[in-house]
Amino acid sequence: MSANLYDLQVEILFSGTADAMRRRILAPLKMGLEKLFSGQNLEAIAPQQLRVLDIACGTGRTLKFIRATLPKASLYGNDLSPAYLKKANKLLSEELGDLPQLLQGNAENLPFLDNYFQGITCVFTFHELPPMVRQKVLEEAFRVIQPGGVFVICDSIQASDEPDFATMLENFPAMFHEPYYKDYIKDNLEERLEKAGFVNIATEVHFVSKYWVGYKPNI
């Protein structure tokens, strides 16, 4: 039931802007990949050389947008829930294009080889995680991304981003079942990304969403 209702619930929660929030990961992802491949046309790169992972892919909506932006890339999705992966497979099968490879698994222990991906995304996940799990997921993302690869996160704004929204953010976990949200809005993900090994970290805030972009150092 959760998988069937999720997309509708999130769109209602964000007044129809949830997909717009997801799509804001596309530009930094593409720019990061172009930087890695020295400005080459990404559509000219063989799929086996351009692999992108969406961590905690849920119903597959972010992968749908990535596939439209990077039609030649090999796409992968990982999620803990088989029900959400089933929903993702159905959504991604509705349109033409190669299906992303969807694997069930815990983001704390990703079922992929070291240095396997050139790009990784993660949308609306970190506020759902306990603090130490956030760190473990970041460390796993660092492990499976290749040197020079780009990692893009989208999630909720935090307490320091929009002071006018402070009361709303404090009340959010009381209105919804979000046991780790209060800690998340005060957590320093930039420091966590640096601790995991990422460099050149940049952040942006757009309305109620926040974005982090980081890179794995070239060896």
The answer to whether residue 168 scores a pLDDT higher than 80 is: no
Per-residue pLDDT, averaged over 204-217, amounts to 95
Collapsing DSSP states into helix, strand and coil, what is residue 80?
A: coil
Q: Of 63-67, 136-140, 177-181, 193-197, which gets the smallest average pLDDT?
A: 177-181
Confidence at residue 69, expressed as pLDDT on a 0 to 100 scale: 96
Q: Which of 168, 158, 171, 163 is nearest to 204 (CA)?
A: 158
**Where are the strands (E) in 56-186, listed by range?**
74-79, 101-104, 117-123, 145-156
What single-letter amino acid sits at 204?
E
Model confidence at 7, pLDDT cuts 50, 70, 90, reads confident
The answer to whether residue 47 scores a pLDDT higher than 90 is: no
Query: Rounded mean pLDDT of the chain?
Result: 92
The answer to whether residue 194 scores a pLDDT higher than 80 is: yes
Confidence at residue 110, expressed as pLDDT on a 0 to 100 scale: 97
Confidence at residue 100, expressed as pLDDT on a 0 to 100 scale: 96
The answer to whether residue 173 scores a pLDDT higher than 70 is: no
What's the pTM value of the predicted model, to 2 decimals?
0.94
Length of the chain: 219
**Strand order from edge to edge, sheet including 51-55:** 101-104, 74-79, 51-55, 117-123, 145-156, 209-215, 199-206
Could you give the percent of the chain with pLDDT greater than 90? 74
Confidence at residue 175, expressed as pLDDT on a 0 to 100 scale: 67
pLDDT digits (tens, 9 = 90+) for 56-82: 999 999 999 999 999 999 999 999 999
Q: With 0-12 CB in 10 A as exposed, 13-18 as middle and 19+ as buried, what is 108?
A: middle
